[in-house]
Chain A
């Protein structure tokens, strides 16, 4: 093992250079990580120089340093947001006690599990997006993809740091295991379902970054409330990076819509369902967009787990994982007698029922998430409205196409109507999901556009590019 100049190669604010135990653990892990990146990271771009944002510190100047860098040489780094020595636990049974700087023994297993599940999602999305570089609609989008990828890699580092620093041998084993699971692998799948789905095309990628990364935001935000201070601080910093991923998704879909409505107007097509003519223009028709949205929203909802969850209740009571914006919520933060309305099936209807708030924290976090998604959809619809084409995108009902929780495998349509019990889940829901023809059409659009300042027909140029650069900036220098 070659010697590492830790502070240069691994920017950090956790005194890595003087932490012998952590250094030893990282020395074991780092080669495995690089090996994983080379096997599973973006396919075919190891030599390309990418205009990437690198965090070298957590202050405003330090966290967004732009420069050309080859991805395998990216400085992933370990960062905790600045600490507050007065910080106290904000919820649960330990409310008001000083936050923990070391792992409380009785919560060791629970905390480790939370970290492993969170950590497992980070490399998963890199794996899922591995082949997308070959079909990017522009150099600008290609860069965004790679920015998302390296930051997912860094988020893996964040969880691995906590595992290695605070969980002894078990933690090191878990950190190793994060490198051995593979998205979609029959034998060693990633832990959560959505992270084993294909991301076969760029429309899926934008949907993924809008919907699935947004789940990440909500999970991270809940962890940022943690009474285990190192976890709270690392996730708070992750959230600043995560915001960009969602920007990629929201603006990506927005640009797809813009390309579509502009092309329709130019050809005087008013009927959004005139699919053949719309597709002949080389753009994505809005109903297909809706079907992709239905799919990605529903599988992302599954990531929140079952509505009622004793794990979530335990983690809250223990002070390890709070609610979204816990510190802004005006209640007792212990929820011993509080209730929360949860959607449940009642015969042929779906009704909201008040249930003990502590046990339905997943449902609450999911509702917060769904509201956030609604806002994004509204912004997309504004763009459609401006074009005066009669079409509105909408989020499907929470019960649609679910494989986890109250509505799992129930034939419920996007409007929330329950089909007769004779309808099978697959037959019924498939009607509202991308068809084979949709996928094959989208796939036909996936041709790489690598000329500076040029964009594929199905996506508009961004209004503002990154780091105040012009749209024709060479965001990626493809290797010769």
Chain B
């Protein structure tokens, strides 16, 4: 089983060094410490285990070290920054694991980009494939030019796959590399070195090793200005959870698995009590409802992705006092300038985005015990289908934060996505902010799909779940991914919708993964044998 929980004391591959307002993330991959069998992580190459640590380190930077304004990302290995995803791992992994691995690494790169501190990748030696993509996700790339240091995306010529962690997209969209140059660059096994890398904007600075300290000195102060935050953080303790064969229980979240129907029934507890002041919330630290629940939910989503591939539908509901929950969210809205609240909402935002990207059917049920408000209401707005028990009680509220605190990967809120092309719907909502809405009102406002009454409720839900379970999981994954992200394209939607989708296709093609494909043959000395038809 893959466990997403870790701690800097247990890292095998990364070191997180904190010094003043600057942190260093140092990659020194332990070749033998792999999450699967049959490969070694040479040349600072990574598998999921390496990325789980990076994701954990990013989370801790945000919560435990909010004072940090600059993060240097560098390698402890001589002459190699990072060689990217390990090819032996990719060659041996199931399709499902490969896809989920890529998804998780892509999320982690995007979360890195979303972290307020300024990230500087210091590329000493070679940054190949995913190694360069890691650098691309940083704000600034410094190439320490010793005459052999290079950046490259050699996936096409070497492996017959695509750079899978946003490489193509970040080249053209983020770094504005001209597409003909990008095309050439992506077909060069050995990549680009020195001044051409700078000239093509593949990196921001090219310096000799002796010039690095003064360059970093000159970069750091100007970078610090917008992010100066003189605060101390909170400790993130290990999540406790209890697993049985068919359930997983956290403090605030309970999930039980209906394996016959491929459903994970997930219940999220709302808050019990509202802190009086932001200081009180800060004092609660990682035990505060805002933070603890998001961390648990995040862990649960990843756990289901990696360890429970046959649970195709997530039935999401909430439980708790709706009035208390609404009070809690109203308080939070008043304290949005507080860093801990800001970070708590950002954590929810990332977690909800991870849910959107999860290839499972999302069905939300608003029933008599529910408290859908704030981030929990997003589960209704973002569901593939939602049901609201029409019994006259009101358990759903639209808050101001639902309009702007939890953007989807397409850059707009779930409500704006929901009402894409219907701006008047959004305007109607501003009139009912912070009001508890009953099923009929919610339906009228377009916030839910169906509102069965008590007589039909069980049947309707049962039919919806059974129907879902009868369709092809692949067709559902593709349909949901297409319907969920309406409207504008962002770098993230391109990465997940275009790059990843093509990569997932390539991962099924014999040229990459067949017995004579490039991934299988890489490193064996045998050349791949390609089917020459273009599809």
Interface residues of A (CB under 8 A from B): 92-93, 109-110, 112-113, 177, 180-181, 186-189, 191, 193, 306, 310, 312-314, 316-318, 335-336, 356, 358-359
- Partner of B189 from the list A109, A186, A318 (CB cut-off 8 Å) is A109
CB-CB under 8 A from A93, the residues of chain B are 526-527
Q: Convert B37-60 into 0s and 1s, putting 1 for each residue whose CB lies closer than 8 angstroms to a CB of A.
A: 000001000000000000000000
Instruction: Take A177-B147, A187-B210, A306-B42 as given contacts and tell me if A358 and B189 are in contact as well, using a CB distance cutoff of 8 Å.
Output: no
CB-CB under 8 A from A189, the residues of chain B are 146-147
Instruction: Take A109-B189, A109-B190, A181-B147 as given contacts and tell me if A187 and B208 are in contact as well, using a CB distance cutoff of 8 Å.
Output: yes
Query: Of B2-10, B376-384, B517-525, which binds chain A?
Result: B517-525
Q: A181-B147, A310-B525 are in contact. List 8 more A-B contacts (CB 8 A).
A: A109-B190, A187-B146, A187-B208, A189-B147, A310-B523, A313-B524, A314-B523, A358-B525
Tell me the bound Cα distance from A306 to B527 in angstroms. Answer: 21
CB of B523 within 8 A of CB of A359, answer yes
B247 at the interface (CB under 8 A from A): no
Tell me the bound Cα distance from A317 to B524 in angstroms. Answer: 9
Q: Residue among A310, A335, A359 with the most chain B CB within 10 A?
A: A310
CB of B210 within 8 A of CB of A186, answer yes
Q: Which residue of B lies closest to A116 (CB)?
A: B148
Q: Which residue of A lies closest to B88 (CB)?
A: A310
Q: Which residue of A lies closest to B191 (CB)?
A: A109
CB of A109 within 8 A of CB of B525, answer no
CB of B525 within 8 A of CB of A191, answer no
Instruction: Take A180-B147, A187-B146, A187-B209 as given contacts and tell me if A109 and B188 are in contact as well, using a CB distance cutoff of 8 Å.
Output: yes
CB of A188 within 8 A of CB of B147, answer yes
Number of A-B contacts (CB under 8 A): 56
CB of A316 within 8 A of CB of B525, answer yes
Tell me the bound Cα distance from A189 to B78 in angstroms. Answer: 12
Min CB gap B417→A, angstroms: 45
- Partner of B524 from the list A112, A113, A188, A356 (CB cut-off 8 Å) is A356
Q: Convert B115-127 into 0s and 1s, putting 1 for each residue whose CB lies closer than 8 angstroms to a CB of A.
A: 0000000000000
Q: Which 9 A-B pairs have the closest CB atoms?
A: A313-B525, A310-B523, A187-B208, A317-B525, A358-B525, A109-B189, A188-B147, A181-B147, A187-B209
CB-CB under 8 A from A181, the residues of chain B are 146-148
Interface residues of B in 480-535 (CB under 8 A from A): 522-527
CB of A358 within 8 A of CB of B524, answer yes
Tell me the bound Cα distance from A177 to B145 in angstroms. Answer: 12
CB of B146 within 8 A of CB of A188, answer yes
Tell me the bound Cα distance from A314 to B211 in angstroms. Answer: 36
- Partner of B190 from the list A113, A191, A306 (CB cut-off 8 Å) is A113
CB of B188 within 8 A of CB of A314, answer no
CB-CB under 8 A from B209, the residues of chain A are 186-187
Q: Which residue of B lies closest to A335 (CB)?
A: B525
Tell me the bound Cα distance from A356 to B525 in angstroms. Answer: 10
Q: Which residue of B lies closest to A404 (CB)?
A: B78
Tell me the bound Cα distance from A110 to B78 in angstroms. Answer: 22
Tell me the bound Cα distance from A358 to B524 in angstroms. Answer: 7
CB-CB under 8 A from B527, the residues of chain A are 93, 317-318
Q: Which residue of A lies closest to B148 (CB)?
A: A191
Q: Convert B138-180 into 0s and 1s, putting 1 for each residue whose CB lies closer than 8 angstroms to a CB of A.
A: 0000000111100000000100000000000000000000000
CB of B525 within 8 A of CB of A359, answer yes
- Partner of A310 from the list B78, B190, B522 (CB cut-off 8 Å) is B522
CB-CB under 8 A from A113, the residues of chain B are 190
Tell me the bound Cα distance from A292 to B256 in angstroms. Answer: 67
CB-CB under 8 A from A312, the residues of chain B are 525
CB of A313 within 8 A of CB of B523, answer yes
CB-CB under 8 A from B148, the residues of chain A are 181, 191
Min CB gap B76→A, angstroms: 12
CB-CB under 8 A from A193, the residues of chain B are 78
CB-CB under 8 A from A318, the residues of chain B are 527
Interface residues of B in 194-228 (CB under 8 A from A): 208-211
Min CB gap B172→A, angstroms: 24
Tell me the bound Cα distance from A187 to B147 in angstroms. Answer: 8
Tell me the bound Cα distance from A310 to B159 in angstroms. Answer: 13
CB-CB under 8 A from B525, the residues of chain A are 92, 310, 312-314, 316-317, 335, 358-359
Tell me the bound Cα distance from A110 to B147 in angstroms. Answer: 18
Tell me the bound Cα distance from A335 to B524 in angstroms. Answer: 10
Tell me the bound Cα distance from A131 to B210 in angstroms. Answer: 24
Could you pull out 7 A-B pairs where Cβ atoms are within 8 angstroms? A186-B210, A191-B148, A306-B42, A310-B523, A310-B524, A310-B525, A313-B525
CB-CB under 8 A from A310, the residues of chain B are 522-525
CB-CB under 8 A from A191, the residues of chain B are 148
CB-CB under 8 A from B210, the residues of chain A are 186-187
CB-CB under 8 A from B147, the residues of chain A are 177, 180-181, 188-189
Tell me the bound Cα distance from A312 to B525 in angstroms. Answer: 8
Min CB gap A70→B, angstroms: 30
Q: Which residue of B lies closest to A93 (CB)?
A: B527
CB of B526 within 8 A of CB of A188, answer no
Min CB gap B403→A, angstroms: 52
Min CB gap B249→A, angstroms: 39
Tell me the bound Cα distance from A189 to B79 in angstroms. Answer: 11
CB-CB under 8 A from B188, the residues of chain A are 109
Min CB gap B40→A, angstroms: 8
Min CB gap B518→A, angstroms: 12
Tell me the bound Cα distance from A251 to B59 in angstroms. Answer: 62
Tell me the bound Cα distance from A310 to B524 in angstroms. Answer: 6
Tell me the bound Cα distance from A359 to B188 in angstroms. Answer: 23
CB-CB under 8 A from B42, the residues of chain A are 306
Min CB gap B38→A, angstroms: 13
Tell me the bound Cα distance from A189 to B146 in angstroms. Answer: 6
Tell me the bound Cα distance from A306 to B43 in angstroms. Answer: 11
Q: Residue among A113, A186, A187, A193 with the most chain B CB within 10 A?
A: A187
